[in-house]
Amino acid sequence: MAGNLVIVESPAKAKTIGKFLGKGYKITASMGHVRDLPKSQMGVDIDNNFEPKYITIRGKGDLIAKLKKEAKNAEKIYLATDPDREGEAISWHLANILNISEDDRCRITFNEITKNAVKNAIKAPRKIDLNLVDAQQARRVLDRIVGYKISPLLWKKVKKGLSAGRVQSVATRLISDREDEIENFNPEEYWTIDAKLNQIKGKTPFNAKFHGNVEGKIELKDEARVNEIIKSIDGKKYVVTKVKKSEKKRTPAPPFITSTMQQEASRKLGFTTKKTMMVAQQLYEGVDIKGHGAMGLVTYIRTDSTRVSNEAQNETREYIKEKYGEKFVPQETRIYKNKSASQDAHESIRPTYVSMEPDQIKDSLSNEQYKLYKLIWERFVASQMSSAVYDTLSVDINAGDYIFKSTGSKVKFPGFMSVYIEGRDDEGENSETNIPVLEEGEELDLKKLDPKQHFTQPPPRYTEATLVKALEEKGIGRPSTYAPTITTILARGYVEKDKKFLFPTELGKIVTDIMKNNFKDIVDVQFTAQMENKLDAVEVGGKRWVEIMKEFYKDFAVVLNEAEESIGQVEIPVEVSDVICEKCGKNMVVKMGRFGKFLACPGFPECWNSKPIVEEAGVNCPKCGGKVVIRKTKKGRKYFSCENRADCGFMTWDKPTDEKCPKCDSFLVSHASGKKETIKCSKEGCDYVKPKE
């Protein structure tokens, strides 16, 4: 016998675990799923209790043969796939392929890949949890039925290549509905009056905002009311009538769950949800750290729980005490409340070793790994620290019959803020004013009275961060679905991203309208959230997944037949460009392909001409005088090249500016290296660097 065989999903995870288990164990990787539903057909026998028809994934034959050979020679087999529904399903498929009995205690899980966690898991193997498997199967089968029944209808009625999905269609609807809100928004006028004030002998001016009068707040709806107030207080003294001093505490944000990690990585690092999950998986599975070998740096990254183990909390409190001092350790250990929909299957996302500071291992990490690990580490450490304490000051100032208010605050004790402060989506919101210490009865000097007209603004478009937040709050999808959902709706051309904002395409609006008019339950937020809860009930053995399928399909089949009859042929409006086809002289039109938008001749199939859509950078090539255009690599990195790149060859990673080089008259570029930015000449051989101002 060859000892014990441990099967994980990835080589990186295998390498990390192998370090802990020693010579008696052989660690191998399944490279993810080994079986799945076929792509060429629905693969679900609806008439036979929705029985899924699994097949071996193409290209996995040799791998499975190798796994069978190793399993045959093993004394004991451990299935150590990820500790979630999908990981349980992968283990179940492996058990079927390797003829492992359902009663065999072959399944091991660990929330973190550390020596203690792995060794403890090996000591306590369990049976495969068929409730978890059924919960994953239920989602897979439901998504397959929705996708493979509605998508062909969209192909037939709209265009080929479209798709519908249980979560993706709701996400697209949220973005489309938000766009409708923006387009139909009617701005309303309102005014503010700011008084710039100073103490009689003071040197530091501060602002006070118009509030109202003794009867309460006054809303300023038009200029006439503002002028009336300004006229009334003209020449009046500004006197402090009320001073309230207090102390305010600010508590830290809880440690990350999947959705909050994705949101914060988007805000602070500019990561897409897809990139965040990819890098987080690397940190979980293990990275080679100099002097330590392969190490799992963070706990499992698909979770909706803020729970922290007692061991990790105690270790972190000791670390904070030693690193920052006794005052930074709260008297009571912080316990954060989970949301009602949380499954609490795993801990929050935290560093596996809090003493492993980001800067200590920076040289062993890629730039992206370092940034995300630092974010996770700082968020977690801060979550276990003392509250920040502010001294606050609130002041009422009378001018005639009217009242102005000013509030200010000063940090008295930084607490957790010395490590980390949570990002915000409303970055434009004004912060509190710094104001001097004032006394009741004190007269102030008016420097300037500033009335301003404003208009209410429509709700902002979703970003990836705010869309994830909305999906989570509404109960749509689960931690593992957010990233692939956003990736899918972008790839399908239903949604586009402009800078960081998501907006629906014409195609996205058309498909959403079809879904709303014909499959209202599929894109109904409340219905989808209720379905998620039913599927979660399967996980704890509260409901049989086949019964859920029967309940759903009974109504779905009727709606599907009605939609087939009622949906007419849909014409997608063609976007005509001002680019002339050089082969036949027609205006080229914008088309959507698998790699995004491109220009095509409307004379197809007689004329096959097509070309990529390029955005001009607004400068001319320093080599040949052609236009510099913006392009992207296959991995999405932006670069700048000459439109005649085949003949000219000019290209730069640096962003062009509209400034000219005083030496050679070529355009200058902005070169960023870390936080340092240099403006230099774009022409090869020219050494001009713009002096810092």
- Known catalytic residues are 300
User: Which segments within 456-581 are labelled E, that is strand?
Assistant: 495-498, 501-504, 575-580
In this structure, are residues 670 and 677 in contact, taking their beta carbons and an 8 Å threshold? yes
Structure-token pair, residue 248: 């305010």
3-state secondary structure of 280: helix
Phi, psi of 187 (to 5 degrees): -65, 145
Structure-token pair, residue 300: 């499992």
In this structure, are residues 206 and 197 in contact, taking their beta carbons and an 8 Å threshold? yes
In this structure, are residues 162 and 205 in contact, taking their beta carbons and an 8 Å threshold? no
Count of CB atoms within 10 A of residue 132's CB?
Answer: 24
Pairs from 320-323 (Cβ < 8 Å, separation ≥ 24): 320/381, 320/384, 320/385
* Residue 528, H or E segment: helix 525-539
- Which strands sit side by side in the sheet containing 651-652, from one edge to the other? 615-620, 627-632, 638-642, 651-652
CA dist 601 and 207 (Å) reads: 60
3-state secondary structure of 639: strand
In this structure, are residues 264 and 422 in contact, taking their beta carbons and an 8 Å threshold? yes
> Following CA atoms 414, 417, 418, 423 in sequence, which dihedral angle do they give, to the nearest 10 degrees?
-150
CA dist 168 and 151 (Å) reads: 12
The three state secondary structure string of 175-241 is: HHHHHHHHHCCCCCEEEEEEEEEEECCCCCCEEEEEEEECCEECCCCCHHHHHHHHHHHCCCCEEEE
Total number of residues shown for the chain = 693
* Residue 404, H or E segment: strand 402-413
In this structure, are residues 230 and 193 in contact, taking their beta carbons and an 8 Å threshold? yes
Q: Check the CA dihedral 99-103-108-109 and report its sign.
A: positive
The three state secondary structure string of 120-137 is: HHHHCCECCCHHHHHHHH
CA dist 93 and 283 (Å) reads: 26
Chain-centre distance of CA 371, in angstroms? 15
Amino acid identity, position 196: K
Nearest CA to 307 out of 264, 263, 342, 276 is that of 342
- Give me the residue label for tokens 């729980």: 305
